[in-house]
Amino acid sequence: WRGIICHAIAAIDIALWDIAGNYYSQPVYQLLGGAFHKKLRAYASTLFGPNGKSTYEIAKRWVDKGFTAVKFGWAPMGQSEKLDLELVKEARRGVGDNNDLIIDAGCCWDTSTAIKRAEQFRHYNVLFLEEPLNRENLEGYRKLTSVARIPIAAGEGESGRFAWQNFIEQSGIDIAQIDLESNGITDAVRIADMAEDRSIRE
Protein backbone atom coordinates (compact mmCIF):
# COMPACT_ATOMS: atom_id res chain seq x y z
CA TRP A 1 0.00 0.00 0.00
CA ARG A 2 2.91 2.36 0.62
CA GLY A 3 3.62 2.53 -3.10
CA ILE A 4 0.00 3.30 -3.99
CA ILE A 5 -0.22 6.03 -1.35
CA CYS A 6 3.05 7.62 -2.48
CA HIS A 7 1.90 7.58 -6.11
CA ALA A 8 -1.37 9.26 -5.11
CA ILE A 9 0.43 11.95 -3.09
CA ALA A 10 2.85 12.49 -5.98
CA ALA A 11 -0.03 12.93 -8.43
CA ILE A 12 -1.65 15.55 -6.18
CA ASP A 13 1.67 17.35 -5.78
CA ILE A 14 2.23 17.49 -9.54
CA ALA A 15 -1.34 18.72 -10.06
CA LEU A 16 -0.82 21.49 -7.49
CA TRP A 17 2.34 22.64 -9.25
CA ASP A 18 0.39 22.69 -12.51
CA ILE A 19 -2.32 24.81 -10.89
CA ALA A 20 0.32 27.20 -9.54
CA GLY A 21 1.91 27.48 -12.96
CA ASN A 22 -1.41 28.35 -14.54
CA TYR A 23 -2.27 30.82 -11.78
CA TYR A 24 1.01 32.71 -12.16
CA SER A 25 1.20 32.19 -15.95
CA GLN A 26 4.65 30.68 -15.49
CA PRO A 27 6.11 27.32 -16.45
CA VAL A 28 6.81 25.17 -13.41
CA TYR A 29 10.57 25.26 -13.97
CA GLN A 30 10.46 29.04 -13.48
CA LEU A 31 8.56 28.63 -10.21
CA LEU A 32 11.33 26.28 -9.09
CA GLY A 33 14.01 28.88 -9.72
CA GLY A 34 14.60 28.80 -13.46
CA ALA A 35 16.26 26.51 -15.96
CA PHE A 36 19.46 24.68 -15.06
CA HIS A 37 20.15 23.49 -18.62
CA LYS A 38 19.53 24.90 -22.08
CA LYS A 39 19.55 21.42 -23.54
CA LEU A 40 19.21 17.89 -22.20
CA ARG A 41 20.68 14.89 -23.94
CA ALA A 42 18.21 12.09 -24.64
CA TYR A 43 19.12 8.43 -24.77
CA ALA A 44 17.21 5.58 -26.38
CA SER A 45 15.87 3.05 -23.87
CA THR A 46 15.17 -0.43 -25.18
CA LEU A 47 15.15 -4.12 -24.32
CA PHE A 48 17.92 -6.56 -25.07
CA GLY A 49 17.29 -8.93 -27.93
CA PRO A 50 17.16 -12.67 -27.17
CA ASN A 51 20.81 -13.01 -28.18
CA GLY A 52 23.87 -11.00 -29.10
CA LYS A 53 23.10 -10.80 -32.82
CA SER A 54 19.66 -9.30 -32.38
CA THR A 55 20.95 -6.95 -29.68
CA TYR A 56 23.59 -5.69 -32.11
CA GLU A 57 20.91 -5.01 -34.72
CA ILE A 58 18.73 -3.16 -32.20
CA ALA A 59 21.68 -0.98 -31.19
CA LYS A 60 22.45 -0.15 -34.80
CA ARG A 61 18.86 0.91 -35.46
CA TRP A 62 18.86 3.40 -32.58
CA VAL A 63 22.21 4.87 -33.58
CA ASP A 64 21.00 5.17 -37.18
CA LYS A 65 18.06 7.21 -35.84
CA GLY A 66 20.52 9.72 -34.42
CA PHE A 67 20.85 8.69 -30.77
CA THR A 68 24.32 9.02 -29.26
CA ALA A 69 23.49 6.88 -26.22
CA VAL A 70 21.46 3.68 -25.90
CA LYS A 71 20.27 1.94 -22.74
CA PHE A 72 19.59 -1.80 -22.88
CA GLY A 73 17.72 -3.55 -20.13
CA TRP A 74 16.05 -6.52 -18.54
CA ALA A 75 15.65 -10.12 -19.70
CA PRO A 76 17.42 -12.15 -20.89
CA MET A 77 20.10 -10.40 -18.82
CA GLY A 78 20.84 -12.50 -15.74
CA GLN A 79 20.27 -15.96 -17.24
CA SER A 80 23.95 -16.86 -17.52
CA GLU A 81 27.38 -15.28 -17.46
CA LYS A 82 28.01 -16.24 -21.07
CA LEU A 83 24.80 -14.61 -22.30
CA ASP A 84 25.28 -11.51 -20.12
CA LEU A 85 28.68 -10.88 -21.67
CA GLU A 86 27.48 -11.67 -25.19
CA LEU A 87 24.63 -9.17 -24.88
CA VAL A 88 26.84 -6.36 -23.62
CA LYS A 89 29.61 -7.09 -26.12
CA GLU A 90 27.21 -6.95 -29.07
CA ALA A 91 25.37 -3.94 -27.69
CA ARG A 92 28.68 -2.10 -27.54
CA ARG A 93 29.57 -3.21 -31.07
CA GLY A 94 26.22 -1.98 -32.36
CA VAL A 95 26.39 1.35 -30.55
CA GLY A 96 29.96 1.93 -31.70
CA ASP A 97 32.98 3.35 -29.95
CA ASN A 98 31.89 6.99 -30.21
CA ASN A 99 28.51 6.59 -28.52
CA ASP A 100 27.49 5.72 -24.97
CA LEU A 101 26.15 2.40 -23.73
CA ILE A 102 24.03 2.05 -20.58
CA ILE A 103 23.01 -1.26 -19.01
CA ASP A 104 19.87 -1.72 -16.89
CA ALA A 105 20.18 -5.09 -15.17
CA GLY A 106 16.66 -5.00 -13.75
CA CYS A 107 17.71 -6.22 -10.27
CA CYS A 108 18.64 -9.63 -11.67
CA TRP A 109 21.77 -10.56 -9.67
CA ASP A 110 22.93 -11.33 -6.17
CA THR A 111 25.70 -9.22 -4.68
CA SER A 112 28.68 -11.33 -5.70
CA THR A 113 27.44 -11.64 -9.28
CA ALA A 114 26.79 -7.90 -9.50
CA ILE A 115 30.34 -7.17 -8.36
CA LYS A 116 31.70 -9.56 -10.97
CA ARG A 117 29.54 -8.18 -13.79
CA ALA A 118 30.43 -4.58 -12.97
CA GLU A 119 34.09 -5.45 -13.44
CA GLN A 120 33.41 -7.43 -16.62
CA PHE A 121 31.24 -4.71 -18.14
CA ARG A 122 33.88 -2.09 -17.41
CA HIS A 123 35.83 -3.44 -20.37
CA TYR A 124 32.94 -2.46 -22.66
CA ASN A 125 33.05 1.17 -21.49
CA VAL A 126 29.58 1.17 -19.94
CA LEU A 127 28.47 4.70 -19.00
CA PHE A 128 26.64 3.39 -15.93
CA LEU A 129 25.11 0.18 -14.61
CA GLU A 130 21.51 0.59 -13.49
CA GLU A 131 19.76 -1.36 -10.72
CA PRO A 132 21.95 -4.47 -10.59
CA LEU A 133 20.43 -5.35 -7.18
CA ASN A 134 17.05 -5.20 -5.51
CA ARG A 135 16.65 -1.78 -3.89
CA GLU A 136 16.18 -3.37 -0.46
CA ASN A 137 19.64 -4.94 -0.64
CA LEU A 138 21.42 -1.97 0.91
CA GLU A 139 24.32 -4.05 2.20
CA GLY A 140 24.82 -5.41 -1.30
CA TYR A 141 24.82 -1.93 -2.79
CA ARG A 142 27.39 -0.80 -0.21
CA LYS A 143 29.67 -3.70 -1.11
CA LEU A 144 29.18 -3.17 -4.84
CA THR A 145 29.73 0.57 -4.88
CA SER A 146 32.82 0.28 -2.70
CA VAL A 147 34.62 -1.75 -5.37
CA ALA A 148 32.88 -1.05 -8.70
CA ARG A 149 34.90 0.88 -11.24
CA ILE A 150 31.87 1.95 -13.24
CA PRO A 151 29.10 4.26 -11.93
CA ILE A 152 26.16 2.51 -10.26
CA ALA A 153 22.65 3.97 -10.67
CA ALA A 154 19.54 3.03 -8.72
CA GLY A 155 16.49 4.27 -6.88
CA GLU A 156 13.68 4.61 -9.40
CA GLY A 157 11.53 2.37 -7.21
CA GLU A 158 12.02 4.51 -4.10
CA SER A 159 9.09 6.64 -2.94
CA GLY A 160 9.26 9.63 -0.61
CA ARG A 161 12.12 11.71 0.69
CA PHE A 162 12.54 9.75 3.92
CA ALA A 163 12.98 6.44 2.09
CA TRP A 164 15.32 8.22 -0.30
CA GLN A 165 17.35 9.71 2.53
CA ASN A 166 18.00 6.25 3.91
CA PHE A 167 18.81 4.87 0.46
CA ILE A 168 21.23 7.68 -0.32
CA GLU A 169 22.97 7.37 3.04
CA GLN A 170 23.25 3.58 2.98
CA SER A 171 23.72 2.50 -0.64
CA GLY A 172 26.73 4.49 -1.86
CA ILE A 173 25.25 4.86 -5.36
CA ASP A 174 26.78 7.25 -7.89
CA ILE A 175 23.56 8.22 -9.69
CA ALA A 176 20.14 8.71 -8.08
CA GLN A 177 17.25 7.92 -10.40
CA ILE A 178 14.34 9.92 -9.03
CA ASP A 179 10.92 9.00 -10.42
CA LEU A 180 8.49 11.94 -10.41
CA GLU A 181 5.55 9.57 -10.72
CA SER A 182 6.20 8.15 -7.27
CA ASN A 183 7.75 11.21 -5.60
CA GLY A 184 6.14 14.29 -7.07
CA ILE A 185 7.92 17.53 -7.87
CA THR A 186 8.33 18.87 -4.33
CA ASP A 187 9.97 15.75 -2.93
CA ALA A 188 11.99 15.25 -6.12
CA VAL A 189 13.62 18.65 -5.59
CA ARG A 190 14.37 17.80 -1.95
CA ILE A 191 15.80 14.41 -2.93
CA ALA A 192 17.95 16.01 -5.62
CA ASP A 193 19.32 18.43 -3.02
CA MET A 194 20.15 15.51 -0.71
CA ALA A 195 21.89 13.72 -3.56
CA GLU A 196 23.92 16.78 -4.51
CA ASP A 197 25.04 17.19 -0.90
CA ARG A 198 26.71 13.79 -1.25
CA SER A 199 28.02 14.47 -4.77
CA ILE A 200 25.55 12.00 -6.24
CA ARG A 201 24.32 12.77 -9.74
CA GLU A 202 20.64 12.71 -10.62
Domain ranges of the chain: 1-31+158-196, 42-154
What's the rounded mean pLDDT across residues 22-35? Answer: 97
- Cis geometry, peptide bond prior to residue 76 (ω within 30 degrees of 0): yes
Residue 77 pLDDT: 97
| Percent of the chain whose pLDDT exceeds 90 | 94
Q: What percent of the chain has pLDDT over 70?
A: 99
Pick the CATH number of 42-154 from 1.20.140.10, 3.30.310.80, 3.20.20.120, 3.40.50.620: 3.20.20.120
Quick one: pLDDT at residue 155? 96
CA nearest 151: which of 170, 169, 125? 125
- Short-list 74, 156, 141, CA closest to 110: 141
Rg (C-alpha) for the chain, rounded Å, is 18
Q: What is the pLDDT of residues 120-140, one digit of tens each?
A: 999 999 999 999 999 999 999
Beta strand segments in the chain, E: 44-47, 69-73, 100-104, 126-130, 152-154, 175-176
Beta bridge partners of 194: none
pLDDT in tens, 31-51: 999 998 999 999 999 999 999
Average of pLDDT values for 87-110? 98
> pLDDT per residue over 160-180, tens digit each?
999 999 999 999 999 999 999
Measure the CA–CA gap between 202 and 194, rounded to whole angstroms: 10
Q: What is the pLDDT of residue 202?
A: 84
pLDDT for residue 3: 75
* Spatial separation of the C-alpha atoms in residues 48 and 89, rounded to whole Å: 12
Residue type, 21: G
Average pLDDT, the chain: 97
Q: Please check the confidence at residue 2 and state whether its pLDDT lies above 70.
A: no
Mean pLDDT computed over 63-78: 98
83/190 Cα distance (integer angstroms)? 40
